[in-house]
Amino acid sequence: MSLYGGVTGCVSDYNATRVVSPYASNSTYVDWRDRNVVGPVENQGSCGSCVPFCVSGTVETNHAITTGEYYNGSAGYLLECMDCPSEWGFYNPCTYRCDGGWSSFTLKYAQAYGVPTESDYPYSSDNRSGIANSCADNGSMEKPINSMVGDGRVYACRSVSQCRDALQKGVVTFSFYVESWFYSYNSGIIPKDSCAQNESTNHCVYAIGYGTTSTGATYVIVKNSWGSNWGDAGYFKMEISDEYSQGVCGSYRNNWLSDHDWVN
């Protein structure tokens, strides 16, 4: 499994008209799977394509929340076809295909240009083997998934209160630093003191909710892209805390509005 990430916890502004109601601001438990807007767990294979998966998952769910239409977004398209315009900034190219990418730019690209469905642009066996081929879209492919709603701004999840507020409105990208013990995770809540407080990230996933422990601590419910046989049916739970300036496992590290953190 290759681990490559991008910015941490991003969600767009949800002031626009929406079909699926947000969770209440005093919610102690949020899980967007209960609203039937989260797709199946997928497997990136040996390609370092966690960013296309975390972004396609984030955008497809937030599109469903906004429009009531769920499409399984194509991570393969974002992997093979995305190229950022030069005017977007210094960090170009903004993707290295199977060798990493920027979740901030990928979110921006998905909103600006849209994403096709997985059925129209499937993640291939070559992709799972670590190969990114030339883009197979000649420009005519329909790209129905482009709703990040609101005014298009993206906000960081860099504190417990910010994360809870964001997750009440939709799902968020979530980058953190994976240590060796994470591979063998299978259930339970990863405690806040389980890893070094890293100043970098190496894996991008997306949070689909949060919960509250009996002691009042907050944990996020996170969807990985390593298949349903990994972890808790493809998911994990991680405590978040404001005790560490960079967040638990570096999960507060990056904010795309001011700080792009390339990881490889």
Q: What is the set of active-site residues?
A: 50, 203, 224
d(CA 227, CA 108): 26
Report how far residue 215's alpha carbon sits from residue 79's, in angstroms, rounded to the nearest whole number. Answer: 41
Distance CA 214, CA 29 (A): 12
70-96 residues labelled b (16+ CB within 10 A) or e (exposed): bbbbbbbbbbbbbebeeeeeeeeebbe
* First and final C-alpha spacing in the chain: 13
Looking at the DSSP assignment, which residues form a beta bridge with residue 226?
43
Report whether the peptide linkage leading into residue 93 is cis, meaning its omega lies within 30 degrees of zero: yes
Residue 81's H or E segment, with its range, is helix 75-81
Question: Of 219, 236, 246, nearest to 160 (Cα)?
Answer: 219
Placement of tokens 């499994």 in the chain: 1
**Token pair in block for residue 95:** 């993707």
